[in-house]
Each structure stands twice: as structure tokens, then as C-alpha cells.
Amino acid sequence: MSEAATLDDWAPHPLDRDATFYVAGHRGLVGSGIWRRLQSAGFTDLVGRSSSELDLKDRGSVFDFFAETRPKYVVLAAAKVGGILANNTYPVDFLSDNLRIQTNVLDAALQVGVERLLFLGSSCIYPRLAPQPITEDSLLTGHLEPTNDAYAIAKIAGILGVQAVRRQYGLPWISAMPTNLYGPGDNFSPTGSHVLPALIRRYDEAVREGLDSVTNWGTGSPRREFLHVDDMADACLHLMEHYDGPEQVNVGTGRDSTIKEIAQTIAEVTGFQGQTHWDTTKPDGTPQKLLDVSRLRAAGWEAKIAMREGLTSTLAWYREHAADLREVG
């Protein structure tokens, strides 16, 4: 392992804006948001590779890339992601792909002595019936939601990987667990998207096609917390400069709404005037998932983008890119 700052000589401080900063997954929803935030913060040596340029599941290629670029900072935002349908249908892919991506990046970063690394997980790491709001110490205290347990196990392994590096090598790496994210760059595929972009697409298409009704999955009763990706990106940079600890940090708004309420807001911002029906034969997933963000607030950060504001801007982005997105959706 190359020489790097250790826990004994590292304390939270502003990151060097001229240092090499690698964003793994820089074209995804989270990674692209982080890339934009780092650019606006004045970072001058940002490094990103598309999946066609660098397959993070290929261990040799990942080690070669790190040996060549030798980044000082890394955000690991690359992951195979999807909604309930995709997670429930392809658990092998979600487990295997994410374990390989994480292990390769963490091991290669360790070999070259990356000083500061932020691993991004997901709030689905917590037990399905964890007390609400969910605190960080709920991890590994109960059964996971079965529709996305494979993805959750992979992300839990990533958290433990970061903690292991801190214990064994003393590097000040950290983990952040975002709540449900949305915003520009999201996946609007009809089969692979999460609930919010799926709803945006469904209501927008209903408006364009003049439909008088929309049917959504489940009962609409589950409660969900949503965070705009630009807020998430801002929180990531803040944590990298102000937080150091082995425990993962929840990143969210600390507020939630029912899926029905969210669907109603989306109907309003899209201009949909028809009826909404609910197919109760389809699964709801976890009944509630609200994060306790006390640790994040103690570190000095709170969300800024209101839900309606974020949905309006996301809808505008979707409509601007809809033709291209439908080609791959």
C-alpha cells in the first residue's frame, strides 16, 4: 500500500481542489450529481470512466486504472441498481455485480493509498421492520426486505469493507447511506426504474397520450423519504470535509410521505387531470423507510431542495431527454 494519511494524522479539513479525484459511476444518477457538485466547488482534476471504458467488475483493469491515475480522493458511486421488479427478478446479478465492483475498487484504492474514500450505499441495508426513523445502529438487527435483499447484502459488505480498512490500515475512509434519490440523470426505464421516476414517466405519458386514468403498483400506503440528487451530492462533499468515523452516515431529509401523496404531487406537476387507480395485487415493498439524520445534522448539513421544487425540475429534465430515454427504456 502506498503512503497516505492515516487516522492518527488526519482530521476533517477542506479537500485539495487540485488533487486527482476519481468518481466511480460518474454517469449515473448519483455520480453525475457528485461530478457537478465537485466542478462547482472548484475541483480541477476530476477523473471518470464510463462502463465501456472501464469495467469495474474486471479486477485487473481496475487495478491498472488506479495504478495509472493514482487518485487522492475517491467516491464509490458505481453500482448495479434497479427498482422492486429488477431486484426481485435478478438477485444473482445484483449480488454478484455489486460485490465485484466494490471489492475491486476498494482493494485497488487501498493498494495505491487513496487518502479519502466515500462509499455510497443505500437505505435498504436496514431491516425491513426497523424502528422508524431508522438510526445507523439498526444495521444487522433484523431481517431485510426480501424483494431487494441481495442488493442490500452487497451494500452491507461495502460498509464492512470500509470499516475493515479503517481498522487494519488506519485510512480515514467513510460510508454514507442515502435515502431514495431522484433528479436529473435518473433511470426512467419502464422495467428498471425506481418508484419516483416510474411515476413521473407514467403520468407524463398519460398526459401526452390523453389518458383518463393511471394505474400504479400496490396500495399507495407505504411511506417513503426522497432526496434530490443535488442535495445528496452536496452532502457527500460536506461529509468528506467534515466527518470522520467508522459508522455509516444516513443522508436524507428526515421527512417522508405516502406513495399516494407523492403520486398526487407528480400528477399535479405533470398536469394530469384523470383518475389514479392502485393495483393491490402488486407488492408494496417495505411499509416505511424514514432515516434518522441526526448524525448528518450534527456534522452540519441539512437538505435544501423542497419536494415539489425537485419534482418540477426533474420533470423538466425528463421531458427534455424523453426521446433518447425511450430508445433505451
- Over the stretch 192-234, which tens digit does the pLDDT of each residue have? 677 899 999 999 999 999 999 999 989 999 999 999 999 999 9
138 is in an annotated binding site: no
Name the residue with cell 461530478.
35
- Report the pLDDT value the prediction gives residue 88, as an integer from 0 to 100: 83
Whole-number Å distance between alpha carbons of 252 and 177: 9
Q: What is the DSSP letter of 107?
A: H
Residue 277 clears pLDDT 70, i.e. is over it: yes
Assess whether pLDDT exceeds 60 at residue 37.
yes
Cα–Cα distances (Å) from 306 to 31, 58, 123, 296, 309, in that order, read: 21, 40, 20, 18, 5
pTM over cut 0.85: yes
DSSP letter at 226 equals E
Angle at 186 between CA 79 and CA 272, to 5 degrees: 150
- Answer yes or no: 22 catalytic: no
**pLDDT more than 70, % of the chain:** 97
Spell out the residues 6+ positions from residue 104 whose beta carbon is closer than 8 angstroms to its own. Answer: 56, 57, 58, 59, 62, 63
Percentage of residues in the chain having pLDDT higher than 90: 81
Residue 69 annotated in ligand binding? no
Q: Strand 257-258's sheet: what is its strand order?
A: 257-258, 223-224, 288-289
Q: What is the pLDDT of residues 288-329, one digit of tens each?
A: 889 999 999 999 999 999 999 999 999 999 999 987 775 444
Residue ranges covered by each domain of the chain: 20-184+227-255+290-305
Q: How far apart are CA 30 and CA 25, in angstroms?
A: 8
Q: Is 47 left (phi over 0), alpha (psi -120 to 50) or beta?
A: beta
Q: Is 62 annotated as a binding residue?
A: no
Q: Quick check: 34 and 48 in contact, CB under 8 A?
A: no
Architecture in CATH of 20-184+227-255+290-305: 3-Layer(aba) Sandwich (3.40)
Q: Is 194 annotated as a binding residue?
A: yes
Given a cut of 50, whether residue 16 has pLDDT beyond it is yes
Residue 1: band (very low, low, confident or very high) from pLDDT cuts 50, 70, 90:
low
| Catalytic member of 126, 151, 182, 243 | 151
